[in-house]
Structure 1
């Protein structure tokens, strides 16, 4: 107690000293206070370990509260922006840098088919591409990169560090990505031909008769729906990394009932005017394809992306939204010779054919009823219907949904 009182008096005395004397007072960790010629020791305390609770890993706040529902990403070439929508509501937008004229970023309808947090380029000398989210196997992806304020990549979509980091934990494989010239915004859309949920029927009982000696008689109509393009040729430029194990190659011409990989997840439907077919996949795995009837087959349909958002409250319907991707109008050219100048080449007369609206396109498409029934049984939020004049492009293959290139 005497020692503590002495220290206290010394400190009080120090506070009463003139400024020049107080300035000479210092503290030394090994010897205590030194004031003038007087050394005041400090009582040493036993070192104690403060028990601290193990901190929980900080959760990424990301873009804040978002409406619950399917995610959609839209990249605009003209504005060099990427916009994130959740449940059809815009929640974030950030700058991007897309491909230069010699290596343009393809425009069209894509989805995330691979994710790699610490990816390095397979083409450009192992260049780091953090937070990589691939949209084609030929080498196009969203990833963190340098943003000079204008197109500067070799086809990829560069994002800022902040946006790429926040986007990374909330996306899953299959998230829709649309690349267009201008910014697009999804709108609520309803139409009688859009799919509605339907419960799966009970397993049919097999018919037995003496002629077949107890053999089961097939009853599923879709068993005869063959898949003629199960494995499109993929580019050798980029190989999938080990983060995703795409389905193994499928044998051409197999039937839906012989499918070797069990599909899961949301269903993707693609109607092609060019091929006059409807193609159905689930979780990147082909299910079946069937012929489809289209009214006025020479009239463009346009490219329309319908996305299932959520079931209605009573569970008997589905809420959909729509994004129409602008495409160059279809052109038919008629050559006419100029009068009196037969030596000149014929002059083309261009007839523009504007595409149908989304509602008009659905009105013109007639799907087989068995296809509608099967799709309705698989329908969940996040499922999609893409209608386009294009066919199955070179980018659609193993481990992808339907990739539709509009340029």
Structure 2
């Protein structure tokens, strides 16, 4: 991995020195993001200490796979995210939080289980995966859930593989999600941009 990073840096340095600037896509595809080294979350305590549900705003950059909690326009938290994958992209737009729950049972994602509670198929979507005969749906619990619309768009804690892997929603790091959740309210603006 270190050799790959050094190689990329050398290529960029040579390209810039020769006056040729490599093209940069407006929104990286999964393969480009997959090879990237994730930038860890950044918390600015002096700004975060000033946060109240009345003075906060959340921004999400789909291209950078980053989210920010802003306090009076200043960055209090910047963290990596995992947004919707190609088949279920996270829609850009202006939203506001319409519902909050520390634990929310998903109506769309979970496992199919048999009568004894054993998992028959895990990680399913009720939108795309038919239930095998004799099974029931067991929803996954989403932690620090902040709903943005009726179509399944929400912010919540989840797995961050380093590229867009969610099904519409925006996943936040497990240690950052509660920090954001505690400082927003129903009505807090959320801007999602390409």
TM-score w.r.t. the length of structure 2 is 0.59
CA distance in structure 2 between the partners assigned to 1:98 and 1:67 by the alignment: 25
Partner of 1:120: 105
Q: Tell me if the contact between 1:63 and 1:166 (Cα under 8 Å) persists in the aligned partners.
A: no
Residue 158 and residue 114 in structure 1: after superposition, are their counterparts in 2 closer, same or farther (change >3 A)? Answer: same
Q: Find the aligned partners of 2:149 and 2:67 in 1 and give their Cα distance.
A: 17
Which of structures 1 and 2 has the bigger CA Rg? 1
* One of 54, 60, 65 as aligned partner of 1:75: 60
With a CA cutoff of 8 Å and minimum separation of 6, indicate the structure with the bigger relative contact order. Answer: 2
How far apart are residue 66 of structure 1 and its match? 2.2
Structure 1 residue aligned with 2:160: 147
Q: 2: CA distance between counterparts of 1:74 and 1:83?
A: 5
List gaps (5 residues or longer) in structure 2: 1-44, 111-138
Aligned twin of 1:176: 189
Within 5 A, what are the aligned runs for 1:3-402?
A: 64-66=48-50, 70-125=55-110, 126-181=139-194
Inter-CA distance 115–89: structure 2 relative to 1 (3 Å threshold): same
Q: Shift of the alpha carbon at 1:64?
A: 4.0
Q: How has the CA–CA distance of structure 1 residues 146 and 98 changed in structure 2, closer, same or farther, with 3 Å as cutoff?
A: same
Give the superposition deviation at 1:167: 1.1
Q: Which has the higher strand share?
A: 2
Number of positions where the alignment pairs a residue of Structure 1 with one of Structure 2: 121
SS in 1 for 2:88: coil
Give, in whole Å, the separation in 2 of the partners of 1:133 and 1:67.
17
Deviating above 3 A after TM superposition, structure 1's stretches of 4 or more consecutive aligned residues are: 61-64
- Kindly provide the CA deviation profile for residues 178-230 of structure 1, in whole angstroms up to 9, marking residues without a partner as x: 0001xxxxxxxxxxxxxxxxxxxxxxxxxxxxxxxxxxxxxxxxxxxxxxxxx
1:286-316, CA deviations, whole angstroms, 9 ceiling, x for partnerless residues? xxxxxxxxxxxxxxxxxxxxxxxxxxxxxxx
Distance in 2 of aligned mates of 1:62 and 1:134? 28
Residues 141-162 of structure 1, C-alpha deviations (whole Å, 9 max, x = no match)? 0000000010000100000011
Kept after mapping to 2: 8 A contact 1:62/1:166: no
Q: Residue 63 of structure 1: CA displacement?
A: 7.0
CA shift digits 1:247-270 (9 cap, x unpaired): xxxxxxxxxxxxxxxxxxxxxxxx
Cα root mean square deviation, aligned: 1.9
